[in-house]
Structure 1
Amino acid sequence: MKTIHAFTIIDWLILAIYFVAILATGIYFWRKNRDAEQFTAAGRSLPGWLCGMSIFATYLSSISYLALPGKAFAGNWNAWVFSLSLPITAWIAVRYFLPLYRSSQSVSAYAWLEKRFGLWARLLASGFYLLFQVARIGVVMYLMALPMTILFGWDVRDLILVTGVIVTAYSLVGGITAVIWADAIQAFILLAGALIAFAILLFGLPNGPVESLQDSYQAGKFSLGSYDLTAIGQSTFWLVLAYGLFENLKNFGVDQSYVQRYIAASSDRSAAKSIWLGALLYVPVSAAFFLIGTGLYAYYQPDPNQLASLRQIVAENQLQVNGQAAPDESQILAHAATLTDQEISDRVFPYFIATQLPTGVRGLLIAAIFAAAMSTVSTGLNSSATLLLSDFYQRLIAPQASERQQMLVLRATTLLWGTLGTITALIMVRYTNNALDIWWTMSGILGAAIIGLFLLGLTSPQVNHRIAIGITLVGAALITWMTLSLNDTLRGDFPFLNSPFHKYWIIVLGPSLMILLGYIVSLIRNRTRTRQSEA
């Protein structure tokens, strides 16, 4: 494969120091994890700022680190509207969700669902989350490794294996305390890397920062999207805002990864502080990443030929994925000429890092990209192990399990989920398109169903467990129909799957329908009781 041999000994040294520091963090906290409470909840003693930085690092995955600049480079700032929903989401999470978890004796986010609707709801949500995490871990590691092959010249599978082993190792030995501290360290690396890259790019623009960004503005690169309320098939400003509200309610409201940070905090006030810090910090940082993407457009737009090498690398990779083991130069050049900005967008930022940043800074930025991936993966491993212990092993198999048994289950399931996530990423190398289709399908169906069930329980006190099952089935049917309608092949074979809605509507309409049905049921039951009392 064509590569960009840009790494120096200093860059490798910085990257090595980063990996050693992360592993050392896990080893340091090894002795402190003598019981399950420490492994899963850190003794409920951590400061709010630490939990908040961990939430921020988890939220800013490698997908965001690479995809946000890519979106602005190939498009505009429409996707940044997603971040504008975070203050609203944070308020709702602090006001309604946080008290549920802080008052509970369980470390599971889904124990409340059992109290509200029964065991089926807890197991359903927990099972969905566990499946979701396997897919998410695989996608994060795969998408992180793909652009890194351009820099290192390694096989993408080798990069996935190295990352999977390291992140599983420190999650395994250190527990939630090591994960949270490592997340906080990685958060500062992420911030430093983004700010340095932004400054170097801004002041290296061909026509200077002011004129270059003005040209980008004239080209519509700062547009937040259409404000047309009737354009249901487009990613409008209003749709992205609504999508961000429900997606972030799923994250900050019901995601086990975030809930464990709330529980690990030393007090209710510290837990609230962690939510506000993690959510509000992301708003300006995501704007910085979009500015980087717009800056990349301004940097390369005057002379698109600067990206010729990148296009050839991407073209060779795509040809190999499609079955051509060793495409010749003419095939690579011909395919490279057909690639759009969208198809190379996720790799433009790593390409800029490799070719334009000075020695040392380059190593720091690559460490930041690894940090974004490892933070998300380690969080997913710890939260998955926690649920497997609390919602399945203790709840269904051994309620009186000893501390030794609990720790054995936690470490075994951390290793298991790390292995499954790594295998998922390796499968994506061979079956890229199918794997990503599965990811989007699971994200739409499973994520929307979970947040819908929680919101139903909070907003409709008259809905009992039997009615909740029916409403959940109706909501899941709508979510499934809208998700399957994204598949072009299925739409051709089954015309009834044709949907006029943009894919962002899935997590908006699915839970909204469940809330509406819950409201109608509650209204009917209240009126029935009123009539009976009057009679």
Structure 2
Amino acid sequence: MGTLDWIILSGTLLFIVVYGVWKTKGSKNVQDYVRGGNDAKWWTIGLSVMATQASAITFLSTPGQAFHDGMGFVQFYFGLPLAMVVICLVFVPIYHRLKVYTAYEFLENRFDLKTRSLAAVLFLIQRGLAAGITIYAPSIILSAVLGWDLRTLNIIIGALVIIYTVSGGTKAVSVTQKQQMFIIMGGMFITFFFILGYLPADITFSKAMKIAGASDKLEILNFDFDAKSRYTFWSGITGGFFLALSYFGTDQSQVQRYLSGKSIRESQLGLVFNGIFKIPMQFFILLVGVMVFVFYQYNPSPLNFNPAATKTVMDSPYAEDYKLLQEGHIELETQKKIAQNKFSVALELKEYAAIEDAKIQVMNLNKKDSTNRAAAKALIKQADEDTETNDKDYVFIHFILNNLPKGLIGLLLAVILSAAMSSTASELNALGTISALDLYKRNKKGPTSERHNVNASKVFTLIWGLLAILIACTASLFDNLIQLVNIIGSIFYGNVLGIFLLAFFFKFVKGNAVFFSALLTQALICVIYYFLIHIHPSGEEKLGYLWLNFIGAALVILISLVFEGFDRLLKNPDIKST
């Protein structure tokens, strides 16, 4: 990194913090601090909702996901637009009509205090863990690639977020997220066009897409009914739908974004904006990853993109074996470049037989490359079992640091850190609000003043910020980071969504049935995840984690109906089945 990169990086981050504090100073009551004074316009809500979901993990992991596995991950978001429609028609009007500060406040009105508290605690557990991960994700990768101290990075990111989030509350989060989204998407578009410019002169965008397609990177739709497949059309519109419905409808980090809307219409328009543009945004980010793949078809790439993993194996007794794999990797890259040129010429001549022959050759070479990389990962694991061998999260940052010009590197690093800050700010804002209003204020005896409640929210936000930093400092990298966040959410979200669906649509179900069924459901979901996804004896997942969202929601509803039926039967033995 050069001086210009440091100026752009530090200037961007400092601007976000100062702007957030300046624009939102003086929140004196809960209405201002938690709901942002209810003056947010739809575009602010829409951008804030998108920025909350689009953490640094999105911009680090998603391109690497596409580099290795292609565009299929976009199916994860297929259920989102439908979820936005349901939330606009059902959730938003109810929240606004009741003038609630949190989503779980509604549950006490509908059921009882213990159900509200349980849902709040489930939220605090999963979102508290996620807050640590959203700080840790960019820190672990930047520290490995740039040589920066990991704990120092965790503390810097966490401290910057704490400053303006504690100071300004919801409004500070919303106004800064607008700036962050412009920085993020601007940086990604600039990078995309730089990648295209770095391709050989005869490789147009259209030809680059055909090259990616020849390596199966453009397979977007998978209609396979296999439940083991993580990303299919069916898991997207079912599991993805329930995940989006629970995340945007019941997760306070998102609910708080649109509760700040000036009116129901503004909140609804903001969510519709997100529903329309979220899939194209994710598609574009994946496309950037695919173009990085095409770039490395013509340019040298490391055998493993994680420099820490490479150093580990090179300092071990397996160094010579790894060097042999590296030599094979270099030879394969030469062969791939020749094969891609052959494929390009065939496309120019429009000779079908030559195109198919070159395509088969490219696919075979990429399979060999995948086998070689898998062998490298096995050697790294033999050298040190604790070293992370999965390098998906390092692909994009490797490309940025080794190929982009000075200045743009600083901008892209600012993109990554801005995304980490925007997502973490929403999480800390929500965690502080839930802790202060759903647990502390609701269970504290005696009345409390507005100033006391605002100060309590600030204190809890600060506490959760410090806890998030602590979690980040003690976390360890897990497979692909964007998947980890979604897995954590899937374990808890389905259950919480089921509670809300019972509240909305099953008016005869009472609090006791919901409370005990939610406890049982959460235990069952943890068991299902542990045995069918995490450590199945065969070594492979027997169930895609997205299905946990549907299963959790269905279980809590069914078990509640059973409990409520038994309760009514015990209270009135004369009831006869029909």
The normalised TM-score by structure 1 is 0.87
Identity across aligned pairs (percent)?
26
Gap regions ≥5 residues in structure 2: 327-372, 379-387
Shift of 1:472: 2.3
1:369–1:331 Cα change, 3 Å: farther
Shift of 1:151: 4.9
1:16–1:440 Cα change, 3 Å: closer
| Greater mean deviation of Cα atoms: 397-406 or 266-275 | 397-406
Q: How far apart, CA to CA, are the structure 2 residues paired with 1:462 and 1:355? A: 62
Q: How far apart, CA to CA, are the structure 1 residues paired with 2:213 and 2:446? A: 61
- The answer to whether the aligner puts 1:232 opposite 2:227 as a matched pair is yes
Shift of 1:50: 0.9
The code of the aligned residue for 2:47 comes to: M
Shift of 1:506: 1.2
Q: Which residue pairs with 2:518 in the alignment?
A: 472
| Paired residues of 2:517 and 2:563 also in contact (CA < 8 A) | no
Partner-residue secondary structure (3-state), 2:103:
coil
| Aligned with 2:270 (options 267, 274, 278) | 274
| Paired residues of 1:57 and 1:375 also in contact (CA < 8 A) | yes
The equivalences for 1:23-172 within 5 A come to: 23-29=17-23, 31-172=25-166
Partner-residue secondary structure (3-state), 1:301:
helix
The equivalences for 1:442-453 within 5 A come to: 442-453=488-499
Partner-residue secondary structure (3-state), 1:224:
coil
| Aligned with 1:285 (options 264, 275, 281) | 281
Partner-residue secondary structure (3-state), 1:110:
helix
| Paired residues of 2:491 and 2:526 also in contact (CA < 8 A) | yes
Gap regions ≥5 residues in structure 1: 1-6
| Aligned with 1:241 (options 237, 244, 252) | 237
Shift of 1:466: 2.5
| Paired residues of 1:427 and 1:435 also in contact (CA < 8 A) | no
> For each residue in 1:484-509, what CA deviation from the matched residue of structure 2 results, as whole angstroms up to 9, or x when unmatched?
115655x55xx9x9983222221121
Shift of 1:297: 1.1
The code of the aligned residue for 1:373 comes to: A
The code of the aligned residue for 1:38 comes to: D
Q: How far apart, CA to CA, are the structure 1 residues paired with 2:215 and 2:406? A: 33
- The answer to whether the aligner puts 1:261 opposite 2:299 as a matched pair is no
Q: How far apart, CA to CA, are the structure 1 residues paired with 2:423 and 2:55? A: 6
1:232–1:310 Cα change, 3 Å: closer
1:77–1:487 Cα change, 3 Å: closer
| Paired residues of 1:94 and 1:275 also in contact (CA < 8 A) | yes
Q: Which residue pairs with 2:211 in the alignment?
A: 215
Q: How far apart, CA to CA, are the structure 2 residues paired with 1:292 and 1:450? A: 35
Q: How far apart, CA to CA, are the structure 2 residues paired with 1:176 and 1:208? A: 45
1:498–1:187 Cα change, 3 Å: closer
> For each residue in 1:324-381, what CA deviation from the matched residue of structure 2 results, as whole angstroms up to 9, or x when unmatched?
9x76993895698613998222111111111111222221111111111100101111
1:263–1:369 Cα change, 3 Å: same
Q: How far apart, CA to CA, are the structure 1 residues paired with 2:577 and 2:159? A: 68
Partner-residue secondary structure (3-state), 2:238:
helix
The normalised TM-score by structure 2 is 0.81
| Paired residues of 2:143 and 2:150 also in contact (CA < 8 A) | yes
1:100–1:201 Cα change, 3 Å: same
1:82–1:328 Cα change, 3 Å: same
Q: How far apart, CA to CA, are the structure 1 residues paired with 2:477 and 2:320? A: 21
> For each residue in 1:445-488, what CA deviation from the matched residue of structure 2 results, as whole angstroms up to 9, or x when unmatched?
32222112112222322212222234324432431221111565
Partner-residue secondary structure (3-state), 1:227:
coil
Partner-residue secondary structure (3-state), 1:97:
helix
Q: Which residue pairs with 2:419 in the alignment?
A: 372
| Greater mean deviation of Cα atoms: 452-461 or 350-359 | 452-461
Partner-residue secondary structure (3-state), 2:5:
helix
| Greater mean deviation of Cα atoms: 439-448 or 419-428 | 439-448
- The answer to whether the aligner puts 1:426 opposite 2:473 as a matched pair is yes
Q: Which residue pairs with 2:401 in the alignment?
A: 354
Shift of 1:407: 2.5
- The answer to whether the aligner puts 1:506 opposite 2:500 as a matched pair is no
How many equivalent residue pairs? 514
| Greater mean deviation of Cα atoms: 28-37 or 238-247 | 28-37
1:170–1:486 Cα change, 3 Å: farther
> For each residue in 1:413-470, what CA deviation from the matched residue of structure 2 results, as whole angstroms up to 9, or x when unmatched?
1110000000000001xx5459989977753432222112112222322212222234
1:295–1:438 Cα change, 3 Å: closer
Q: How far apart, CA to CA, are the structure 2 residues paired with 1:309 and 1:506? A: 32
Which structure has the greater CA radius of gyration? 2
| Greater mean deviation of Cα atoms: 68-77 or 32-41 | 32-41
